[in-house]
Amino acid sequence: MVSPSLSTTRRGALGLSAAAMIGATLRAANAAPDGELRIGVHVSLAPTWFDPAETPGIITPFLLMYAMHDAMMKAMPGDPVTPCLTESWTMARDGLSYAFTLRKGVLFHNGDALTAEDVKFSLERYRGAASKTLKERVAGVDIHDPHRLTIRLNEPWPDFLTFYAAASGAGWIVPRKYLQQVGDDGFKKAPIGAGPYKFVSFTPGVELVCEAFESYWRKAPVIKRLVFKVIPDEATRLAALQRGEIDIAYSIRGELADELVRTPGLTIKSAVGSAPFWLYFPEQWDPQSPWHDPRVRLAASLALDLKTMDQALTLGNSRLTGSIFPENFEFYWQPPAPVYDPGRARKLLAEAGRARGFDAGDYYCDTSYANIGEVVLNNLREVGIQVKLRPLERAAFFKAYSEKKLKNIVQGASGAFGNCATRAEAFVVKGGTYVYGNYPDIDALFAEQAAEMDRAKREAILHRLQQLVHEKSIYAPIWQLAFISGVGPKVGQSGFGLIRGFPYTAPYEDLTLKGKA
Amino acid sequence: MKQYIVRRVGYSLLSLFLLSLTIFLFVRVTGDPVSLLVEPGASPDDIETMRRQLGLDQPLWVQYGHFVASFVTGDLGLSFYYRTPVLELYFQRLPNSLLLAGVAMALSLLIGIPSGILAAVRVDGFWDSAGKIFSLLGLSLPQFWVGLVLILFFSVYLGWLPSSGSGSVAHLLMPAFTLGWYFAAAHMRLTRSSMLDVLGSEYIKLARLKGLPEALVIGKHALKNALIPVITLAGINLVVMINVAVVVETVFAWPGIGRLLYEGITFRDFPVVQGVVVIGGAMIVLVNLMVDILYALIDPRIRLES
């Protein structure tokens, strides 16, 4: 039996706790953003990145776009296509149009309400990556009222949302009226968006300062000011973090990452981006080449001691997926985990008539990642495959790779946006930019999925396609590279790794400083 | 004299033309910038669109024609990376580079000239050896290494100076010293050899024979003449410091023209590289032209010989 006094006390305590919780919640809800977070950025910030219309096909501009702008839908924690400025969308049965309902009450930083006119304007104005593809396939935009619109297509296009939401900046919305007032150049000098942080100042080559936009629809940011400080040298960036001049340092690699781990108060954070690395055997279609035999290609794959390499080069943070497709991409199929088995590799080579190993010629790679090549070379030598490292300067490497001029072994990588279909188109299917030969069964599957509007059926086809890539050992996958950064003692929630495949800190409105959350 | 000046101006314009042509062709030999501006695996459409937007789909001679025509009107084109006019980028960075170069030059002269004089006066003595070691280190230690050691010592261990950036005197000290040391060593060596030449000349011997105090011989009679080549070199070095302090500005995140050039090279930003090199070249050509004209004004033999 519970005594009345105890019961009263308990009720009282519960009541007090509830009141305290409500009070804390209200305080948190009403608390003004406070404090400053300084982020040491590894690249120079370009004003072109302030304008979503000019989004190139690289991930870097998104580190600013997640702060200053917002999209119809974008990758967020737990969901790669999260409705943001749009509440919902529906595809027409014939696949020829998509109807969107916009979120109400969304404001731009200048106080203007975001409407369907802005969405139409942003799509029509878009001229960045994939703009040609979008413009060729989008027939027009119909506005029904300020919060409802329909995007019409010329023909059914299963990848429309991939391109609109992920592979371009067309779905990132800019204010039409303001842009028409100030023009493109004026917009880059004083950008206005609908994101959680508003632009304050930009000093080229030095820093970008942003301030919390308290009317952000999702929630008001906790941190008052974000300062993106440009520090191109990696060692200097680490020194600035150690000294407390910055709170987050992007891209700290190799020995400097070891130093970071050893520094008290600093923590290492890694985020795996959408950039898998692999070995490609461009001569596998030549019957005279040792690589023509799938057993030899599999042997090369089994010879790779990926776990040791991962530990040595990225402190165990890269993802060993066994695939050339990013695991965060739509329609991803997870192959069996990669295995390191030099004994089996030698056996396979013997079965293929290469018991004494063979001279495999040159190993081409981008100089920036020659350190990976050095480890792979040693692994291959251990099973008898002799190769010579031929690092090429980045632009020269990708030019030669795309012009089909490389031979023997190519160490490739890609961080291009899209989904597994777009990735297959570039790297697996006949006619692809980096495809040196093809397999008819894979090509047939690709053509079949391109015409399939049923998502489940399309997924099944693309899974089968990836399975064939794996079974034929067209590639020897290495890893999905980790982007390693350092975080200082002041930071609470750093945001690294919250969004799958996104290497930077985001969403910015979720970041906190210790003791200020 | 008029003919001499016209001929010198002609040579200068020819030099600038050759420089612009060389840099225009040279940057294009290094490869295709589009492959650095899109992700590997980007669609051929995107690559082509980007190439068209940057004007790289045009034949080389058309691109060069545009470059020269724009340059003549004071337009250096639009940066591929920043999508901002190169001239605007250049003038945004110029004050920082002038500041860094000015302080580094002052440091280099303050260190280089006295130590060079001391080394020449005490030739083969302790100060000469110390000066040689100083100049050897200054010229041979890589600037990035010196910069990083300074950052580790003064920023990380002692915590006295900010590791990077700009905006205060404290930010300026380490990059100015790193940049200045290299040039101090060069100025020290030139001052020493120039002083040794002058100190061995007849008029110095006469001054000493007349019993003038040594300080007066060195400070008034020898130094004036010995400094002429040093000042000439310092003028050229100042232009170099302003435009190509690439390593120092990168290590210390100093927002100057050197870093702009580094970024231009890294991203194959042709307009930026062309612009910075041509402006830097124009400065050197202009300085040389002015020196030539001044020499001719001062020394009639030069204009008569030419």
Q: Which residues of B touch A425 (CB under 8 A)?
A: 43
More confident residue, B232 or A153: A153
φ, ψ (nearest 5 deg) of residue B11: -60, -40
Q: Is A54 in Cβ contact with B253 (below 8 Å)?
A: no
Residue B41: predicted pLDDT: 63
**Does position A91 have pLDDT exceeding 50, yes or no?**
yes
Q: Which residue of chain B has the CA closest to A205?
A: B255
Q: How far is B289 from chain A (nearest CA, A)?
A: 33
Give pLDDT, residue A196.
Answer: 98
Across A251-268, average pLDDT: 90
Mean pLDDT of the A406-417 span: 88
Distance CA A483, CA A273 (A): 7
Alpha carbon separation from B35 to A234, A260, A282, B46 (Å, rounded): 23, 32, 20, 11
| Per-residue pLDDT, A468 | 97
B196, B123 contact by CB (below 8 A): yes
Rounded Cα gap, residues A443 and A268, in angstroms = 43
* Higher pLDDT, residue A221 or A16: A221
Band of residue B303 on the pLDDT scale cut at 50, 70, 90: low
> What is the distance in angstroms between the Cα of A52 and the nearest Cα belonging to chain B?
13
Q: State which residue of chain B sits closest to A423, comparing Cα positions.
A: B41
Contact A240 B44 (CB under 8 A): no
CA-wise closest residue to A464 among A476, A446, A440: A446
A401 lies within 8 A of chain B by CB? yes
pLDDT over 60 at A496, yes or no: yes
For residue B302, the model assigns a pLDDT of 65
Q: Which of A296-300, A474-478, B100-104, B128-132 has the lowest mean pLDDT?
A: B128-132
Q: B301 vs chain A: nearest CA distance in angstroms? A: 49
* Nearest CB to B35 within list A56, A203, A395: A395
pLDDT of A231 above 50 = yes
- On whether both B274 and B260 belong to a single domain, the answer is no
Residue A338: DSSP 8-state: P
Contact B253 A396 (CB under 8 A): no
Q: Is B35 on the interface with A (CB under 8 A)?
A: yes
Q: Are residues B24 and B162 in the same domain?
A: no
Mean pLDDT of A443-453: 91
At B234, the amino acid letter reads: A
**pLDDT above 80 for B39:** no
- Is residue B45 located within the same domain as residue B182? no
Average pLDDT of the segment spanning A347-358: 94
Q: Which residues of A touch B155 (CB under 8 A)?
A: 239-240, 243
We report the CATH number of the domain holding residue B115 as 1.10.3720.10
Q: Of B42, B148, B263, which is closest to A235 when you measure between CB atoms?
A: B148
**pLDDT band for position B84 (cuts 50, 70, 90):** confident
pLDDT one-digit tens code per residue, A286-336: 999 999 999 999 999 999 999 999 998 888 999 999 999 999 888 999 999
B270 to chain A, any CB pair closer than 8 A? The answer is: no
- pLDDT tens digits, one per residue of A101-144: 999 999 999 999 999 999 999 999 998 877 888 888 999 999 99
Taking an 8 Å cut-off on Cβ atoms, the answer to whether B44 and A188 are in contact is no
Cα–Cα distance for residue pair A255/A258, rounded to 1 Å: 5
State which residue of chain B sits closest to A51, comparing Cα positions: B83
B233 and B96 share one domain: yes
Nearest chain B CA: its distance from A426 CA (Å): 6
Are B195 and B63 contained in the same domain? no
Enumerate residues 244 to 273 of chain A having a beta carbon within 8 A of any beta carbon in chain B. 245
Count of domains for chain B: 2
b vs e for A21-41, b when ≥16 Cβ sit within 10 Å of the residue's Cβ?
Answer: eeeeeeeeeeeebebebbbbb
Q: Which of A127, A240, A427 sits opposite B163 (nearest CB)?
A: A240
User: What's the confidence (pLDDT) of residue A381?
Assistant: 95
**Both B258 and B280 in a single domain?**
no
Residues B283 and B212 in one domain: no
CA angle A89, A94, A96 (to 5 degrees): 65
- pLDDT-based confidence at residue B188 (cuts at 50, 70, 90): very high
More confident residue, B36 or B290: B290
Please report, rounded to a whole number, the percentage of residues in chain B having pLDDT higher than 90.
24
Q: Which of B:81-120 have CB within 8 Å of A?
A: 81-84, 89, 92-93
Place of tokens 């802005």: A118
Among the partner-chain residues A54, A203, A239, the one whose CB lies closest to the CB of B83 is A54
Question: Is the Cβ of B148 closer than 8 Å to some Cβ of chain A?
Answer: yes
Region A71-86: what's the mean pLDDT?
A: 92
Examine the domain organization and report whether B143 and B213 are in the same domain.
Answer: yes
Using CB atoms, pick whichever of B32, B49, B262 lies closest to residue A399.
Answer: B32
Residues B127, B255 share a domain: yes
Closest residue on chain B to A207 (Cα):
B165
pLDDT of residue A437: 94
Domain of B228, in residue numbers: 88-266
Q: How far apart are CA A12 and CA B62, in angstroms?
A: 84
A279-298 pLDDT per residue, tens: 999 999 999 999 999 999 99
Residue B178 has a CB neighbour count (10 Å cut-off) of 26
* B257 and B122 housed in the same domain: yes
Q: Which of A243, A256, A403 to mutate to test the interface with B (most CBs of B within 10 A)?
A: A243
B204-230 pLDDT, tens digit each: 888 888 888 888 888 888 888 888 888
The predicted structure's pLDDT at residue A108: 97
Residue A494 belongs to what H/E stretch?
A: none
Condensed to tens digits (0 to 9), the pLDDT of residues A37-69 reads 999 998 888 888 999 998 876 788 899 999 999
How many residue pairs from chains A and B have C-beta atoms closer than 8 A?
156
Decide if pLDDT at A11 tops 60.
no
pLDDT at position A194 over 80? yes
Taking CB atoms and an 8 Å limit, are B83 and A47 in contact across chains?
yes
Set of chain B residues whose Cβ sits within 8 Å of the Cβ of A129: 38, 42, 46
Test mutation, A163, A168, A236, chain B, max B CBs within 10 A: A236
Measured CA distances, A409 to A275, A348, A359, A392 (Å): 19, 18, 11, 13
Tell whether B44 is within 8 A of chain A (Cβ): yes
The band of B40, judged by pLDDT with boundaries at 50, 70 and 90, is low
The residue-averaged pLDDT of B131-147 equals 89
pLDDT in tens, A431-441: 888 899 999 99
**Does position A27 have pLDDT exceeding 70, yes or no?**
no
Asked whether A139 and A152 are in contact (CB, 8 A), the reply is: yes
Does residue B256 sit in the same domain as residue B134?
A: yes
CB contact under 8 A, A414 and B155: no
B76 and B101: one domain?
no
Say if the Cβ atoms of B253 and A233 lie within 8 Å: yes
- Portion 187-226 of A in contact with B at CB < 8 A: 188, 203-207
Of B41, B42, B255, the CB nearest to A206: B255
Nearest residue of B to residue A47 by CA position? Answer: B82
